[in-house]
Structure 1
Amino acid sequence: AGDGFIICGQDLILDILSNFMRMHGVMALRAYIGSYDSLVSLYYGKVSVASAHLWDSAGDDYNVPYVRALLPGIRCAVVNVTYRMQGLYVASGNPKTILTWRDFAREDITMINREKGAGSRVLLDENLKLLGLYGSRIKGYDNENQSHLAVASAVGRGDADVAVGMEKVARQVENVEFVPLKKERYDLVVKKEHLDTAEVATMLSILRSERFQNEFKRIGGYDITDIGKIVAET
């Protein structure tokens, strides 16, 4: 990425990270693209840092199988940012008693989906696969939206009965309740040959700093136990 240091992903934590980096003299830019596309962009060298929360049902693992598959032959470091609770957005009081992935197949339920390649979409699709369900048979499956906030708002308005997303957003939207289903690991991915660059070194030292971590002590929904830790290498 010749025209700046580009960090991919949609979480607020990355916005704050890029602000901190700019304060440290690194021109960090943001690209709001989902997990799958950000790994592909990293492979093609269009971005400097990808973020991912992609669950692999085969090994009950996050991100590493996808990094191996989407960046073949490229040595990468997988750096944790946070753990987040993923689950279902339902209307307040959960009038339709939607509690599990199997409920998506019910006749009386209409969903709203995230776009292909979003971590929440992959989590849903992997669970549907385990249940032997096809998305095409689920009402509203083809109705896609690009953000957690948008799908939560649709549920809050009554335009859909259920959507998949992270807990923090449910607190920001009226008339929405959250059904927790999966603690996910949200990671940043960088190419190992870039670990020694000033930009990546600055990013890692910010993630590991008390000052940065203090920003998240007051925001609910983040578990930053492993923030800045290299959790895997490929």
Structure 2
Amino acid sequence: MKRIKIEPAWSFTDEAGNRLDPQLFGLLQGIHRSGKLTEAAAEAGISYRHAWNLLNKWADFFGVTLVEMQKGRGARLTPLGDKLLWARQRVAARLGPQLESLGSELNLELQQLFEGVEPVLRMHASHGYAVALLPRFASDFQLDLQYCSPAEALAALNRGACDVAGYHMPTSATQGPLMQGYRRQLRPRSHCIIRFITRCQGLMLAPGNPRGVAGLADLVRGDVRFINRQQASGTRALLDILLREVGLSAQRIRGFELEEYTHSAVAAYIAAGMADVGFGVEAAARQFGLDFLPLASEHYLLLCQRSSLADPSVLRLLEMIRGAPFQQAVRELPGYSLDRCGEVCGVDELFDESRHG
């Protein structure tokens, strides 16, 4: 059956009722990437003449040019062009998970109109690039994917609000508040773990690393601006662990109180020139053309009730993530690797591996 996908759209309107053409953003993105109006127009699917007219029209709209044309040197965005492009990127990055969750809810409503067509798998999970691939490959079952913090996902599983919970934990750390919190919510007798992926987290840096950031110790320098993840996120918890290990106080980090809600939103914030460094996954850094300094690896795991392993929807999830198409898509994500993907193990077994690994 058909599935709904929700995407954000911008609308600028002046007092005369003129509206900003959405094609403009595709054109600005192409110019930023290639530095050539001809290539950008082709990418946007419009003629060179139309692209030129579009830029002139909206330069008049704002009263400032969006692109500078330099003879023999191609085209480059002006400060306003940059601001428009990166503002759109930030909006899409920030709202993306919420819109995906809403789309999942609407698809479930549609599914219920065709009762018995497909089994439904309710998954609450921490947002990530590999998890975001799941709806694309789900077949023969309806995936109701809701994004939330790892703690919220585990709590939802324990109260029966979902069938599978997705969370992540460092590959080496076995102590501290994060692991203690997980241990309180994981139930070895009734829960089992579905292995999923391993991913790399580290410092996402402005292109070329102009501040010369070489590690966590540089975050306390006065000339370095930081952008953080929200406090409830697993990525924030991992950063807190790393800072404690090297004895750094978060209060000394400029911008530590500023928060974004996804890896891509942090990367877009840096790409827009609003910060010099953030913490997140390598895939987000590469998506936005940032430098990346790896610091830690972590498991992303799926948790379910042992009794759910025989459910048709869970069986189809296992079949999907064990399959070649999904695994190939994961291999194409920078900083992601398959970690015995689809293998089922006990909770105690995983903690024993972490303790001795």
For Structure 1 versus Structure 2, the TM-score category normalised by the shorter chain is 0.7 to 0.9
Distance 1:220 1:93 in 2: 18
- How far is 1:72 from its partner? 5.0
**1:215 corresponding residue in structure 2:** 329
| Pair 1:5-2:121 in alignment | yes
Q: What per-residue deviation string (whole Å, max 9, x for no partner) do you get for residues 81-121 of structure 1?
A: 11111111111121222222222222322211111232211
The residue type equivalent to 1:17 in the other structure is L
The residue type equivalent to 2:144 in the other structure is L
**Equivalent residue in structure 2 for 1:79, among 186, 189, 194:** 194
- How far is 1:35 from its partner? 2.0
Q: What per-residue deviation string (whole Å, max 9, x for no partner) do you get for residues 56-93 of structure 1?
A: 875279x8755422245763222221111111111112
SS at match of 2:287: coil
The residue type equivalent to 2:319 in the other structure is S
**1:191 corresponding residue in structure 2:** 305
For the 8 Å contact 2:193–2:303, the answer to whether it is kept is yes
SS at match of 1:223: strand
The alignment's C-alpha RMSD in Å is 2.7
Shift in alpha-carbon separation, 1:226–1:56, aligned structure 2, 3 A: closer
For the 8 Å contact 1:35–1:54, the answer to whether it is kept is no
Shift in alpha-carbon separation, 1:104–1:231, aligned structure 2, 3 A: farther
Identity within the alignment, %: 29
Aligned length: 229
The residue type equivalent to 1:229 in the other structure is E
**1:123 corresponding residue in structure 2:** 238
- Looking at secondary structure, tell me which structure has more helix per residue: 2
The residue type equivalent to 1:198 in the other structure is P
SS at match of 1:53: strand
Larger Rg: 2
For the 8 Å contact 1:110–1:139, the answer to whether it is kept is yes
TM-score by length of 2: 0.58
**Equivalent residue in structure 2 for 1:158, among 254, 261, 273:** 273
The residue type equivalent to 1:41 in the other structure is A
**1:201 corresponding residue in structure 2:** 315
- Matches of residues 44-63 of structure 1 in structure 2 within 5 Å? 44-55=159-170, 58-59=173-174
Structure 2 portions without partners, runs of 5+: 1-107, 110-119, 349-357
Shift in alpha-carbon separation, 1:97–1:230, aligned structure 2, 3 A: farther
Of residues 210-219 and 103-112 in structure 1, the stretch that sits farther from structure 2 once superposed is: 210-219
- How far is 1:232 from its partner? 4.1
**Equivalent residue in structure 2 for 1:135, among 225, 250, 275:** 250
Structure 1 portions without partners, runs of 5+: none
